Structure 1
Amino acid sequence: MSATLLPPLPHPEPVAAPAARLALKTDGSSRGLLDGAWWPRSRDLAHELRALTDALDPLWGRITRVAVNPEHWPVIPQKVPVDGHTVKVGWFTPEIDPHKLLLLSYGTGRWDLLVVPPEAGAESAARLMAAASGRDGLPLTASALIAADEARHGVSASDRPSAPDEAASETEGGATATDVLKAPAGTVSAGLPRQTDPPGPAGRPSGL
Structure 2
Amino acid sequence: MTLAPPPPLSSLSAVRLRLVSQPAQGHMPRRIDGAWWPRSPDLVSELPRLLAVLPHAWGQVTSVLVDEAVWSPFPGRLLVAHQVVRLRRTTTQHSPSTVCLLAPGRGRWDLRVVPHAATDAEARRLMENLATALWDSGGL
TM-score (norm 2): 0.78
Q: In the aligned structure 2, how far is the partner of 1:88 from the partner of 1:126?
A: 30
Out of 24, 27, 31, the residue aligned to residue 19 of structure 2 is 24
Q: Residue by residue, what CA displacement relative to the aligned partner does 1:77-133 show, whole Å, maximum 9, x if unpaired? A: 211111131110011222x62611111012111111100011111111111112223
Match of 1:118 among 116, 119, 138: 116
Q: Is the 8 A contact 1:34 1:113 kept in 2?
A: yes
1:66 corresponds, among 60, 64, 67, to 64
Provide structure 1 residue ranges, at least 5 long, that are not aligned to the other structure: 1-13, 140-184, 186-208
Q: What is the distance in 2 between the residues matched to 1:137 and 1:85?
A: 38
SS of the residue corresponding to residue 85 of structure 2 reads strand
Structure 2 residue identity aligned to 1:27: Q
Q: Which amino acid aligns with 2:17?
A: L
Displacement of 1:33: 2.7
Corresponding residue of 1:53: 51
1:75 match: 73
1:86 match: secondary structure = strand
Tell me the TM-score normalized by structure 1: 0.54
Aligned residues: 126
Distance 2:86 2:10 in 1: 21
Identity of aligned residues (%): 35
CA gap 1:128/1:23 in 2 versus in 1, 3 angstroms = same
The Cα shift of 1:138 comes to 5.4
The counterpart of 2:87, out of the listed 83, 86, 89, is: 89
Corresponding residue SS for 1:62: coil
Q: Is the 8 A contact 2:32 2:111 kept in 1?
A: yes
Secondary structure of 2:22's match? coil
CA shift, 1:57, in A, is 5.4
**Residue 135 of structure 2 aligns to a residue in which SS?**
coil
Aligned residues: CA RMSD: 2.4
Look at both structures and tell me which one has the larger radius of gyration over its CA atoms: 1
- Tell me, in whole angstroms, the C-alpha distance in 1 between the residues paired with 2:109 and 2:128: 17
What are the residue-to-residue correspondences of 1:84-163 with 2, within 5 Å? 84-94=82-92, 97=94, 99-134=97-132, 135-137=134-136
Counterpart residue type for residue 118 of structure 2: A
- 2-side partners of 1:24 and 1:107: how far apart? 20
Q: Where does the alignment leave 5 or more consecutive residues of structure 2 unmatched?
A: 1-6
What CA distance in whole angstroms lies between the structure 2 residues aligned with 1:15 and 1:52? 12
SS at match of 2:115: coil
The Cα shift of 1:32 comes to 3.2
